[in-house]
Chain A
């Protein structure tokens, strides 16, 4: 009895988690999305400078189901969603588990602005109440959620321009220390239009190539989701992969094989938008949990 206390202590949270997952699935089924499954163990993850895959029997555990799901988009599956485990080496803290649960969905024929509205609808449907209390904040879920560009957020909260922050090598520090704590505290916030260097798989903005069509959703200062208008230019994607691979090499990180089948499929991919949402994080916000440990049955350390 005493040995299983962490598990029994989490009973209420796990019951709520299960109910939240059911509401997520119901939301997508009602909107005509197909629930799909793609392999967890893959030969060639997308190269990203700051995301490290865990090697597994010669291949890798996925850091996201993105590449396989985009191959499905290219093959004509126009609305798909997946709830799956992802793994990222070395990520552990009160908001991170190295193995965590991702919700990703992709939709053909729309862009990131459409996805903002669909994400609003999902959060409201899953929360099933007009306001939530999280870490002492009283957060209003009335739509539309707040929208702020990355440039505006840096100007307002960090007192700098994005270019200055990037040139000084302080983009991430300012984001974590000055900007994130201000996002999603009154209402959930979409922060959007990232510099192209921070958006390896996203399309550049129509009419303003200085930014990429990427957004993130924050609730109570917590990063919940990341979305793109998807890049569908295979040549451009290949050169971005090469740049990311070079960056990884410069950091002394192991190379990945090139995802050739994904690049080949990209030529046939329709205009689309996709989003990755950390489901453990959404559960944290809805349950007012201080640590991600409170909303999972087992942490790595408890195995």
Chain B
């Protein structure tokens, strides 16, 4: 069971027995007032969204999802294909259900495919994923313009900001919970 203090982007909770994922989260506390936890929720089956504001003390049940260990194989049209590591069964998930996870999919990436009533409705990727930088402008040594980050495109097409010293072809670690650069992979 979760409390309001556990709410955060990416958490999956059950509402009326259906799985919802929090797609945006905001902690608010108007002067001297009570804490309010404002969420945008997406129904993981229908894709419909709703806004809900919760208060301290409210409790939530985790979304009742089964997860299966699978690996990413390939994308075809608007579907992503995954394979069960034990049974070799392959399943397809459409792009709309992938959410931010599609930014991190490289061949053979291990994922948890989320199953609700025997239907695959989403994937969880590892918290940290290593991806190669395919394009970024070179760093001019001695640059004192004060620029402290620059855009970089990764092998999945995902674009994010990285430190100026990162070069094309380097492998970097992304924190998939925030979508931000975490560290450079040495060697």
Interface residues of A (CB under 8 A from B): 1-3, 5, 8-12, 48-51, 90-96, 171-173, 175-177, 180, 198-200, 216, 223, 226, 251
Contact = CB atoms under 8 A, between A and B. Distances in A.
B165 A50 contact: no
A172 B33 contact: yes
Interface string B23-43: 001111111111110100000
B33 A2 contact: no
Interface size range on B against A: 20 to 34
A292 B179 CA distance: 18
B32 A12 contact: no
A200 B32 contact: yes
Contacts of A223: 30-31
A1 B35 CA distance: 38
A91 B163 CA distance: 30
Nearest to B26: A93
Contacts of A176: 28, 30, 33, 36, 38, 53
B173 to A, nearest CB: 9
A221 to B, nearest CB: 11
Contacts of A199: 32
B49 interface: no
Give the interface centre of B5, B25, B31 by most chain A CB atoms within 10 Å: B31
A49 B32 CA distance: 8
Contacts of B149: 9
Interface of B: 5, 25-36, 38, 53, 56-57, 146, 148-149, 163, 165, 181, 183-184
Contact of A171 (B5, B33, B57, B181): B33
B181 A51 contact: no
A199 B31 CA distance: 10
B31 A90 contact: no
Q: SS class of chain B's interface: helix, strand, loop or mixed?
A: loop
Contact of B31 (A1, A8, A216): A216
Give the interface centre of B5, B26, B30 by most chain A CB atoms within 10 Å: B30
Given A92-B27, A199-B32, A2 B163 contact: yes
Give the interface centre of A93, A198, A199 by most chain B CB atoms within 10 Å: A93
Contact of B33 (A9, A90, A93, A198): A198
Nearest to B173: A2
Given A5-B181, A94-B26, A50 B35 contact: yes
A274 to B, nearest CB: 14
18 contacts: A2-B183, A5-B181, A9-B148, A10-B148, A50-B29, A50-B34, A91-B27, A93-B25, A93-B27, A94-B27, A95-B27, A96-B29, A171-B33, A173-B36, A175-B30, A176-B36, A177-B38, A251-B57
B35 A90 contact: yes
A6 to B, nearest CB: 10
B53 A173 contact: yes
Given A12-B146, A12-B148, A223-B31, A172 B36 contact: yes
B3 to A, nearest CB: 10
B184 A172 contact: no
B32 A50 contact: yes
A50 B38 CA distance: 17
B27 A96 contact: yes
B187 to A, nearest CB: 13
A90 B53 contact: no
Nearest to B186: A2
B165 A90 contact: no
A11 B31 CA distance: 30
Contacts of B27: 91-96
A198 B32 contact: yes
A157 to B, nearest CB: 13
B5 A90 contact: yes
Contacts of A175: 30, 33
A187 B27 CA distance: 25
B165 A1 contact: yes
A176 B53 CA distance: 10
Contacts of B5: 90
A226 B30 CA distance: 11
A198 B30 CA distance: 11
Contacts of A94: 26-27
Contacts of B36: 172-173, 176
A92 B149 CA distance: 26
